[in-house]
């Protein structure tokens, strides 16, 4: 299949059954060994390595000379016969190790300068620094590890397209030059040449366009969508990233979730993993109550509990004042945690404090005795109620949930890490749903959308609490794997009046303002909108997880650094002043 005019076979697929064939190969010199009379070259292409053997019995003197002189990473074409190696010359570590090519002709078609960083590494030899790998990306991408990652990425994309297309989903494209959105992340802006002072934005997601597709009657849509967000980076966050974006009409939440389960099943299967056909569901409220976060890692227990009623019976000042202030005392039991030193538990407390908690209360039960600041306040009833086994350590935070939950979440994760409770082979998929519709600033009381402003609230909540939107839950859902969010979505608002009310609740009360910012969505909804909803998956993150790569940069061909630069091609750059003038722009500040 990979044969061309210049080559008959790829290097890495030659086997014993090819013995006797005359082949033409093309590839990169991975390594070479010049033994004087004999020269061996490991020739590499994206399928793997094969050994070329050059010797006076079958190679011309000029061929031998060329083979001895060619530098690593040069591109050569060669012709030769596939021969079986003698038993003691077989290399069991090579896929092609049972054969070699007796070279009869060799041409160096792409001589290479000495590479700035090694492509072929010795066993145990470290990789070059990432900065250099990014600067010389053309070399780094030659490494089999990165080639494998990008090949897997390709396969995952093909599976995605086949899976969705087979189910009637249409792959439709949306603009890259779009309208700036006032909410959410910072936009990348693109100045308009023909309209002085006006700007396009690169899309943060195709959200509004895909809802409009639903209004148009394209009732099943998907897109492998490039999205852009001008925010600071992380190992798992790039300014430009790829989403699998999905939307469908005449659906309810479970329709979308069933599709999500099927698609992720197909992707994980492609990467060689078996996963359950159905994911567990958990409410946001339960996730926060029992795990302290909205994307719990269920590979281990250490569930949180509310210990308020026990502490209510204890005359302990710290918890007393918290309870009196309306807060709760929540915590967890860590089996075996009593063996930790004072210093180790102090480190846990530091974690809790860094997450905003005032402290981390501890109660040790070891050698039949209880100790910790609480110990002398314990009643017999309380002792029994805590239910600590010998060797257990109980940890508590007495604070409002918005402080205690994130603090206990971090403590829980660190305890699991220390106790090595995490089975890396386990894949715990989970759907978290019934998110609150709004997040309320606990000082100003202002509402912001937890998901986005197009998400439909739970009808039951609107009925039960018509005047208390802060209590509404949203028809939103996230798919979580082992504590990582893979994707999320919602049932959308399809009633234009409701959408308008939603904007008002979010502080865009002025109708003219709503029309100016979101008129193109409202018009679409008014023109007859079906009930619809969807989901979007972070494709780079999925490719990272399935390839086992430690960073998003290892599954993206040309990624940005944490300062949002491309070291390879060198972007961004200053541009000539005439170019700015054509765009009606002037740069201010120290570089102007």
> If binding is defined by CB under 7 A, does position 141 make contact with RNA?
no
Task: Give 16 or 235: the residue with its C-beta nearer to RNA.
Answer: 235
From 436, 453, 534, 538, residue interacting with RNA (rule: CB under 7 A): 453
Distance CA 161, CA 246 (A): 11
Count of residues near RNA by CB under 7 A: 71
Contacts of 384 (CB under 8 A, 6+ apart): none
- Residue 396: C-alpha distances to residues 32, 318, 328, 446 (Å): 62, 11, 10, 30
Q: How many residues belong to the chain? A: 592
Does residue 55 bind RNA (CB under 7 A)?
yes
Nearest C-alpha neighbor of 504 from the set 443, 453, 439 = 453
- What one-character DSSP code corresponds to residue 468? -
Nearer to RNA, 118 or 391 (CB): 118
Q: Which of 34, 81, 306, 495 binds RNA (CB under 7 A)?
A: 34
> Which of 449, 462, 480, 543 forms a contact with RNA (CB under 7 A)?
449
Tell me which residue has tokens 């021969």: 83
Binding to RNA by residue 347, rule CB under 7 A? no
167-226 residues near RNA, rule: CB under 7 A: 181, 183-186, 204-205, 207
Provide the mask over 400-439, with x wherever binding to RNA is found by CB under 7 A and - wherever it is not.
Answer: ----------------------------------------
Do 294 and 431 touch, CB atoms closer than 8 A? no
Which residues 93-132 are close enough to bind RNA by CB under 7 A?
Answer: 93-94, 97, 100, 114-118, 122-132
Out of 46, 65, 85, 353, the residue judged to bind RNA by CB under 7 A = 85
Name which of residues 525 to 554 contact RNA (CB under 7 A): 551, 553
Q: Which is nearer to RNA, 6 or 129 (CB)?
A: 129
561 binds RNA (CB under 7 A): yes
Among 8, 19, 31, 471, binds RNA (CB under 7 A): 31
**Which of 6, 22, 56, 198 is in the footprint of RNA by CB under 7 A?**
56
How far apart (Å, rounded) are the C-alpha atoms in residues 176 and 206? 9
Q: Which is nearer to RNA, 70 or 333 (CB)?
A: 70
Binding region for RNA (CB under 7 A) out of 89-97, 425-433, 458-466, 507-515: 89-97
Three-class SS state of 408: helix
The DSSP secondary-structure symbol of 389 reads P
> What is the CB neighbour count within 10 angstroms for residue 225?
22
For residue 48, list its beta bridge partners: 45
Using the rule CB under 7 A, is 65 a contact of RNA?
Answer: no
- In the bound state with RNA, the residue whose beta carbon lies nearer, of 546 and 567, is 567
How many helices (H) and strands (E) would you count in the chain? 17, 22
Q: Does 52 bind RNA (CB under 7 A)?
A: no
Query: Of 209, 65, 119, 280, nearest to 536 (Cα)?
Result: 209
74 contributes a contact to RNA by CB under 7 A: no
Among 3, 62, 71, 423, binds RNA (CB under 7 A): 71
- Which DSSP string corresponds to 494-510? --HHHHHHHHHHTT---
Q: Per-residue DSSP letters for 143-163?
A: SHHHHHHHHHHHHHHHHHHHH
Per rule CB under 7 A, is residue 281 in the interface with RNA? no
From 1-9, 87-95, 166-174, 280-288, span contacting RNA (CB under 7 A): 87-95
Round to whole Å and give the CA distance between 476 and 563.
Answer: 32
Minimal distance in Å, beta carbon 201 to RNA?
12
The span from the CA of 571 to the CA of 544, in Å, is: 24
């Amino acid at each position: 299949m990979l044969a061309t005019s210049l080559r008959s076979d790829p290097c890495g697929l030659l086997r014993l059954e090819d013995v006797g064939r005359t082949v033409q190969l093309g590839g990169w010199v991975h390594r070479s060994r010049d033994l004087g009379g004999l020269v061996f070259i490991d020739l590499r292409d994206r399928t793997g390595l094969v050994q070329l053997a050059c010797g006076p019995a079958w190679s011309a003197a000029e061929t031998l000379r060329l083979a001895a002189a060619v530098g690593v990473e040069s591109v050569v074409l060669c012709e030769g016969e596939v021969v079986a190696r003698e038993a003691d010359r077989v290399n069991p570590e090579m896929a092609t190790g049972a054969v070699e090519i007796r070279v009869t002709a060799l041409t160096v078609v792409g001589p290479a300068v000495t590479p700035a960083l090694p492509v072929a590494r010795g066993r145990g030899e470290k990789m070059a620094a990432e900065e250099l790998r990014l600067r010389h990306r053309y070399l780094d991408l030659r490494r089999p590890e990165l080639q494998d990652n990008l090949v897997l990425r390709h396969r995952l994309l093909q599976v995605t397209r086949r899976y969705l297309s087979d189910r009637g989903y249409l792959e439709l494209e949306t603009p890259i030059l779009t309208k700036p959105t006032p909410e959410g992340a910072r936009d990348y802006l693109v100045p308009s040449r023909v309209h002085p002072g006006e700007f396009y934005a690169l899309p943060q997601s195709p959200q509004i366009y895909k809802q409009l597709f639903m209004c148009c009657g394209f009732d099943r849509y998907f897109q492998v969508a490039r999205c852009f967000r001008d925010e600071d980076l992380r190992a798992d966050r790039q300014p430009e990233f790829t989403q699998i974006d999905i939307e469908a009409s005449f659906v309810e939440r479970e329709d979308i979730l069933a599709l999500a389960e099927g698609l992720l099943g197909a992707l994980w299967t492609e990467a060689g993993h078996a996963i359950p056909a159905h994911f567990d569901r958990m409410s946001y409220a339960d996730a926060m109550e029992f795990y302290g976060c909205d994307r719990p890692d269920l590979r281990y227990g250490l569930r949180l509990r509310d210990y308020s009623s026990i502490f209510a019976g204890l005359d302990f000042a710290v918890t007393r004042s918290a309870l009196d202030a309306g807060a709760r005392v929540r915590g967890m039991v860590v089996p075996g945690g009593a063996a930790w030193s004072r210093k180790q538990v102090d480190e846990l407390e530091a974690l809790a404090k860094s997450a905003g908690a005032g402290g981390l209360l501890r109660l040790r039960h070891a050698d039949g005795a209880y100790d910790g600041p609480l110990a002398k306040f314990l009643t017999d009833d309380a002792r029994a109620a805590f239910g600590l086994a010998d060797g257990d350590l109980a940890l508590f935070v007495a604070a409002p949930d918005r402080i205690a939950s994130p603090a206990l979440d971090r403590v829980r994760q660190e305890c699991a890490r220390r106790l090595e409770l995490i089975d890396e082979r386990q894949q715990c998929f989970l759907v978290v749903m019934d998110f609150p519709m709004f997040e309320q600033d606990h000082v100003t009381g202002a509402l912001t959308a937890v998901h986005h402003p197009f998400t439909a609230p739970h009808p039951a909540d609107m009925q039960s609490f018509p005047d208390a939107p802060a209590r509404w839950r949203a028809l939103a859902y996230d798919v979580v794997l082992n504590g990582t969010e893979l994707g999320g979505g919602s049932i959308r608002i399809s009633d234009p009046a409701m959408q308008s009310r939603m904007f008002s609740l979010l502080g865009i009360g002025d109708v003219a303002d709503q029309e100016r910012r979101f008129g193109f969505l409202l018009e679409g909804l008014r023109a007859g909108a079906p009930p619809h909803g969807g989901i979007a998956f972070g494709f780079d993150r999925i490719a990272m997880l399935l390839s086992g790569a430690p960073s998003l940069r290892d599954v993206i061909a040309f990624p940005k650094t944490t300062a949002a630069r491309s070291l390879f091609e060198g972007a961004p750059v200053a541009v000539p002043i005439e170019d700015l003038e054509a765009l009606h722009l002037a740069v201010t500040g120290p570089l102007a």
